[in-house]
Amino acid sequence: MNAAAAPTDPPGPAPHTTREGWAAFVAQQPPRLDLLDAERLAELDQADRDAYDERRLAYHARLVVVATPMIDQIVTAGRRLVLLNRGQDTARRGLVVTGASGTGKSTAIKQLGKHHELLARRRRTAPGPFLPVVHVTVPPAATPKVLAAEFGRFLGLPLPRSLNQVNITNAVCDLLCELGTDLVLVDEIHNLDLTTRVGAESSDQLKYLAERIPATFIYAGIDVEHGGLFTGTRGRQIAGRFASVATAAFPYGSRPQRDQWTALVSALEHTLRLYAHTPGPLARLAGYLHQRTGGMIGSLSHLIRGAAIEAIFDGTERITRATLDRVILDHAAEHPRTSPRAKRANAASVGTG
């Protein structure tokens, strides 16, 4: 085959911080894959079997987003705010989702956005272009112009270098008002440092956008309550308009909490597509899984998905404690900063899980 004609890998999905990427995320259905029965599996030649296993690997790399109580709380709070803000010309209320890394902040606000957009599009009767949700992230050390440009980039606006902050901001606000946007998701808000001049000016830019665009603004960031977002004159303005929801590691102290965690593990286990794994073993390892992940939903998802891929790689087609032990997690999960007392409590929970 001529090198020039050689097939290339398809481009990866567009990021959710672009209009095309967000639309693809909203339209994305939960991954589905039915296991072939033993007879049909035996009929596959090696090439077809490899292709089938590749589909299973891709399936487990994604899996589904399991609704947690925290996701449900944030979706409900966001929907309530959107309804309350309708018809408000000024002083619209917002929501700040704050917590440690890996506690599901970004997942939660994106699920809120997806839920809202699907509902808004079902209810839409007017003709013409419609964009109910915008999703952007705050770059490190973002200036007001860079922040406005992030909105422009999501919309796909041409942004020549000659455009100044005012030009970009006006173009963004005019277009979002025209498109009927009523929910704006702003992630990585901790990148705004209100103690610096640039951070303070960028905060003012967000406030101005919120005044110009008749939408509910949802912020998400790492421990923003300790980063100065609610302090000082500007911080007090934010605190006076934004409610806050704190995400945290999944608790495991009481029986109801352990039951909720086990139900979450069981829900993930039922999504597996492995030939020798029947639901049950992971639920019985709930205590171990909580200890390994520190109750972090992101770490739990990574651990189970990684173990499923390992089970396909090694041909065992089932997940055991040994399989889980071989999956390396993030540094925070592998090196938790816990007191001796907490470690003893975690060790005890493994035996009761």
Domain extent for 314:
252-353
Asked whether residue 10 is assigned to any structural domain, the reply reads no
Sign of CA dihedral 122, 126, 128, 130: negative
Phi-psi region of 63 (alpha: psi -120 to 50; beta: other; left: phi over 0): left
CATH code of residue 317: 1.10.8
Please indicate, yes or no, whether residues 227 and 318 belong to a single structural domain of this protein.
Answer: no
Q: Could you give the C-alpha distances from 8 to 3, 34, 56, 57, in angstroms and in order?
A: 11, 28, 22, 20
Mean pLDDT for the stretch of residues 163-183: 95
Boundary-marking domain end, from 247, 279, 298: 247
> How many structural domains are present in the chain?
2
Please indicate, yes or no, whether residues 190 and 273 belong to a single structural domain of this protein.
Answer: no
Asked whether residue 17 is assigned to any structural domain, the reply reads no
Please indicate, yes or no, whether residues 243 and 257 belong to a single structural domain of this protein.
Answer: no
**How would you classify the pairing of strands 133-137 and 183-187?**
parallel
Pseudo-torsion of CA 101, 24, 273, 305, nearest 10°?
-20
Amino acid letter for position 342: A
State residue 99 phi and psi, 5-degree precision. Answer: 165, 180
Distance from C-alpha of 194 to C-alpha of 228, rounded to nearest angstrom: 6
Please indicate, yes or no, whether residues 216 and 263 belong to a single structural domain of this protein.
Answer: no
Please indicate, yes or no, whether residues 209 and 299 belong to a single structural domain of this protein.
Answer: no
More confident residue, 237 or 140: 140
Please indicate, yes or no, whether residues 200 and 316 belong to a single structural domain of this protein.
Answer: no
Predicted confidence (pLDDT) per residue in 303-315, tens digit: 999 999 999 999 9
DSSP track, 204-215: HHHHHHHHHS-S
Mean pLDDT value across the chain: 88
Please indicate, yes or no, whether residues 94 and 205 belong to a single structural domain of this protein.
Answer: yes
CATH code of residue 99: 3.40.50.300
Mean pLDDT for the stretch of residues 330-353: 51
Helix (H, G, I), strand (E, B) or coil at 184: strand
Phi-psi region of 295 (alpha: psi -120 to 50; beta: other; left: phi over 0): left
Boundary-marking domain end, from 201, 226, 247: 247
Predicted confidence (pLDDT) per residue in 116-166, tens digit: 999 999 998 888 899 999 999 999 989 999 999 999 999 999 988 889 999
Count of CB atoms situated within 10 Å of the CB of 205: 21
Distance from C-alpha of 10 to C-alpha of 66, rounded to nearest angstrom: 28
The 8-class DSSP code of residue 60 comes to H
Say what the pTM is.
0.85
Boundary-marking domain end, from 229, 247, 265: 247
Predicted confidence (pLDDT) per residue in 45-91, tens digit: 999 999 999 999 999 998 777 888 899 999 999 999 999 998 787 77
Please indicate, yes or no, whether residues 261 and 236 belong to a single structural domain of this protein.
Answer: no
Please indicate, yes or no, whether residues 213 and 257 belong to a single structural domain of this protein.
Answer: no
Please indicate, yes or no, whether residues 232 and 90 belong to a single structural domain of this protein.
Answer: yes
Under 8 Å between Cβ of 81 and 74: no
State residue 147 phi and psi, 5-degree precision. Answer: -65, -45
Please indicate, yes or no, whether residues 325 and 221 belong to a single structural domain of this protein.
Answer: no
Please indicate, yes or no, whether residues 96 and 167 belong to a single structural domain of this protein.
Answer: yes
Going by pLDDT thresholds of 50, 70 and 90, the confidence category of residue 336 is low
Asked whether residue 227 is assigned to any structural domain, the reply reads yes
Distance from C-alpha of 276 to C-alpha of 175, rounded to nearest angstrom: 53
The closest alpha carbon to 208, from 164, 144, 157, belongs to 144
